[in-house]
Structure 1
Amino acid sequence: MPQLTNYLYLFYSFVFLLNIIHVFWQNAVLYTGIGILAIIMIAISFPRADKVFKVLGTVLIAAGTFFYFSSDAGLRDIPDAFAGNISLLFLVSMLPWMNSAVKAGRYNTLLKSLIGNKDRRLSKLYGRSELTMVSLAAFLNLSSATVSQDLLKEKLKNVPANVRNNFVAMVTLRGYSLALLWSPLEILLATAIFITGANYLAVLPWMIAISIIGILLDSAFARFLFRNESLPEEDTAKNIPMDKKKFFQFIAALALFLGVVVFLGNVIQLDFLFSVTISIFPFAFYGQW
């Protein structure tokens, strides 16, 4: 059995491949087959999952069972219900590629240099840190929180613990929440766009505008909250100079990613979840260079 589990990724990849085929070839039998394989995936993965995922999975399966018996659906509808979630699972499985692309492209070092500045005041540092967090969250989703926290903890290691913890928590949580408004990698946003059928390009300017307003208001509040706090002078002497070339590459990577998502969704007319999922490939390739 341990040898078999090492090759489960082949089975999962096969199911994802069938899902890709179904996107371009709508077939009821294929869709039902994907649903049956999805049920098998759950049966295999559930015993090996962490406790948190077991609890969440049990709750969701129980809720689905309740709604199933509350409706007039038949047994033949069960596989189709599971098949409908494969696109979301495919997207989640692709998110680690974003993390590797950022590290391979050394964007994490770039973001560290963006945080660094000769200005010692935390009120000034907050705005740059929040913009960094928003940039990370746009690419890395939830894993951006740990990356951002590591950068900030190292930067503020000589600041009093209560101030450091408050600063890091505010930047991480608020920066992440502001990125969720527009990042196509956010699962809730992707699911909402997929379910409602809304045009991502149409709502994107409004979501970005709300995010910018939120950043400006939060930065203004932080200027007041941390007005009397500053970094030790020796910490500002160790700042890494910003690589302007890498900075523009980072901006180009973000524009490329959003551009591919919009192109696939509005020109090729693919659904939003699938557009985001396959857009990860060119970005991951771009990040290697």
Structure 2
Amino acid sequence: MNSFLKQRLYVVYTVILLIYIANTFIASEVISYIVGSLAIPMLLLSFAGASKLFRILGSIFIVVGTGMYMYSGLPFYQIPLYFTSTMPLLAFLTVLPWMNSVVRAGRFDRRINELMKANVSDLGKLYVRSSFTTYTLCAFINLSALSISQEVLLENMAKMKKKIQDSFISQTTLRAFAVALCWSPMEIMVAMTVDATGVSYLSYLPWLLLVSFIVITVDMVWGSKRYKSLPYEPAHNRATRTIESSVVAWKITKLVIALTAFLLIVVGIGNAYQLNFILSVTLVILPFSFCWALIMNRMRSFLAIGWGTWKHRTNHMQNFVVLFLSLAFFSSSLNETPFLQMIQQPFFAAADTPLIILLLIQATYLLMSMIGVHPVATIGILAEVLQPLYTVINPLSIGMVLITGALATATVGAYGVTVTMTSMNTMQNPYRIVLRNMPFAILYGGVGTLIGYFLL
């Protein structure tokens, strides 16, 4: 792919996705076919820029999907229609950087991160403070917060031993990240689960908040005790930094108010126009971000940050384009074959013992993450497999496990974005990160499973 085209992928992606979104209201079969036809060159174009892992995963989905399509005896001309089912997810990812940008434009990330730069006496206190800071930021700016928190900690812990740095950063940041996103409406796993199970986001919210609170509290207590005996050595011999607690508290309060308003608008529009959750969030993010920037009087900063961030992120969406479009073809083809029923058999066999099904979902996530399968791909397949069980098992229970199981892998997926990013930032072996966080991933998934079982 030449550099001219690579720098303008955002134009190609945006045009195709805008046509798709417009057609959700027009409902034209001709336009649906056009979008599907455009999805194929979109996939081929992205394949060259995708990472090796995603190319392998996409190739497997396409090859197996093609085999199932041919087995079903479907006509060749219908192939484009089998590539569109995951378009809403790509549209969602395309607009997400604008929400991240408005938070950065309002300097919420800087103010909240001051908490980590303040003086602390030992690493136990720093662990709690780092977890809280990362948790708060991740709920609003997702992956960007992980990078920011790790950079601050690397700077502040420069005098500490490398082994302690690696252990501390890979635990506190990744764990807070994974737990913060389980209730965020801007997390793709949450959005996919809401649409797959047909249960409203508001039904999930209190239970997801409970899981989040329990797991982050347990981890903070553990981290405080684990690192309490280690004195904190600041990287710079400066006077003790004072925190204007009222300023930070007000910033966090404003974030909570903004998120609450965002949720109410998303739910209101979804109910009023009978839209699925992913599409509702996608449609609300951009105008909401602009209005928020206007209210804060930060429009110039927002546009400067937002345009650059959006172009960069959209130009580097090849991995997700390859994954989602190939997954759409695979899932749609699978639904046309009897193989789906074969995959469903182990779950149907355990229908009388729902706990086994919930544990099976958790085990599937962990196993797939170990061999490099992205949780989005896993949830895409599980959503199809589990759908018939919603009549005998509370879909809310299944959804709770789908969400918590997927996000638990953010701490142990050796080939995942979060673990890979942490490995690169701290220059440590990704498998060491996996080993350190495996007990936490099991705890996280276990709490989600127990609450899911309680809701049966």
Q: Shorter-chain TM-score: which interval?
A: 0.7 to 0.9
The alpha carbon displacement at 1:7 in A equals 4.2
1:259 to 258, 264, 271: 264
Inter-partner Cα distance in structure 1 for 2:155 and 2:261: 31
Partner of 2:381: none
In structure 2, the partner of 1:46 is 47
Q: Does 1:32 align with 2:22?
A: no
Which amino acid is 1:196 matched to?
A: T
Query: How many angstroms apart in 2 are the aligned matches of 1:141 and 1:61?
Result: 30
More displaced, 134-143 or 27-36?
Answer: 134-143
Q: Judging changes above 3 Å, is the alpha-carbon distance between structure 1 residues 154 and 102 closer, same or farther for their aligned structure 2 residues? A: farther
- 1:269 is aligned with what amino acid? Q
Q: What RMSD, in angstroms, separates the aligned Cα atoms of the two structures?
A: 2.5
Does the 8 Å contact 1:253/1:283 carry over to 2? Answer: no
Once the two structures are superposed, the pairs formed by residues 123-162 of structure 1 within 5 Å of their partners are 123-162=124-163
Correspondences of 1:83-162 after superposition (within 5 Å): 83-162=84-163
- Cα pair distance change 1:258/1:68, threshold 3 Å: same
Q: Could you tell me how far apart the structure 1 residues matched to 2:160 and 2:3 are?
A: 47
Letter in 2 for 1:147: I
Q: How does 1:177-196 map to 2 (within 5 A)?
A: 177-196=178-197
Q: Letter of the 1:256 partner, please give it.
A: A
Q: For structure 1, which runs of at least 5 residues remain unmatched after alignment?
A: none
Per the TM alignment, residue 91 of structure 1 is displaced from its structure 2 partner at its CA by 1.3
CA displacement 1:177-200 (0-9 Å, x = unmatched): 212321222222222222222211
Sort the Cα spacing of 1:156 and 1:252 in 2 relative to 1 into closer, same or farther, 3 A: farther
Whole-Å separation in 2 of the counterparts to 1:99 and 1:15: 23
Range with greater deviation from structure 2 (71-80 or 189-198): 71-80
Kindly indicate whether the alpha-carbon contact (under 8 Å) linking 1:131 and 1:175 is maintained by their aligned counterparts in 2.
Answer: yes
Match of 1:172 in 2: 173
Deviation of residue 104 (structure 1)?
1.5
Given residue 22 of structure 1, which amino acid in structure 2 is its aligned partner? N
Query: What displacement does 1:114 show?
Result: 2.7
Q: Is the 8 A contact 1:110 1:247 kept in 2?
A: no
TM-superposed deviation, 1:119: 3.5
TM-score (normalizing by structure 2): 0.58
Query: CA, structure 1 residues 223+254, in 2 after alignment: closer, same or farther (shift >3 Å)?
Result: same
Deviation at 1:35, TM superposition (A): 0.9
Equivalents in 1 of 2:225, 2:8: separation in Å?
55
Q: Give the structure-1-normalised TM-score.
A: 0.88
Following superposition, the deviation at residue 76 of structure 1 comes to 4.3
Separation of aligned partners in 2, 1:193 and 1:179: 17
Q: How far did residue 253 of structure 1 move?
A: 2.6
Aligned-pair CA distance for 1:207: 0.5
Distance 1:87 1:122 in 2: 43
Distance 1:236 1:38, change over 3 A: farther
- Paired residue total: 289
CA–CA separation in structure 1 for the residues paired with 2:168 and 2:123: 9
Distance 1:253 1:169 in 2: 30
In structure 2, what is the Cα distance between the partners aligned to 1:107 and 1:66? 50
The match for 1:277 among 243, 264, 282 is 282
> Is 2:127–2:223's contact at 8 Å kept on the other side of the alignment?
yes
Q: What is the alpha-carbon distance in structure 1 between the residues aligned to residue 284 and residue 156 of structure 2? A: 33
1:232 is displaced (CA, Å) by 2.9
Q: Percent identity?
A: 35
| Cα separation, 2, equivalents of 1:46 and 1:246 | 41
Aligned to 1:237: 240
How far residue 147 of structure 1 moved from its aligned partner, in angstroms, is 1.8
5+ long unaligned stretches in structure 2: 299-456
- The change in CA–CA distance for 1:139 and 1:57 in structure 2 (over 3 A counts) is farther
Determine the structure 2 residue equivalent to 1:246. Answer: 251
Deviations 1:51-72 (A, max 9, x none): 3432332233234324433445
Structure 1, 242-251 or 193-202: larger mean CA deviation: 242-251
Deviations 1:221-276 (A, max 9, x none): 11210121232364671455452443332222322333333223334432111122
The superposition leaves residues 100-156 of structure 1 with CA deviations (integer Å, 9 ceiling, x where unpaired) of 223222122112113344432322222232122222222233333212211222232
| Inter-CA distance 272–223: structure 2 relative to 1 (3 Å threshold) | same
SS in 2 for 1:84: coil
State the partner residue of 1:20: 21
1:6–1:149: structure 2 CA closer, same or farther, 3 Å change rule?
Answer: closer
- The 10-residue stretch of structure 1 (79-88 or 124-133) with the greater mean CA deviation from structure 2: 124-133
Question: Which deviations, in whole Å up to 9, do the C-alpha atoms of 1:201-222 show, x marking residues without a partner?
Answer: 1111101111001111111111
Letter in 2 for 1:168: I
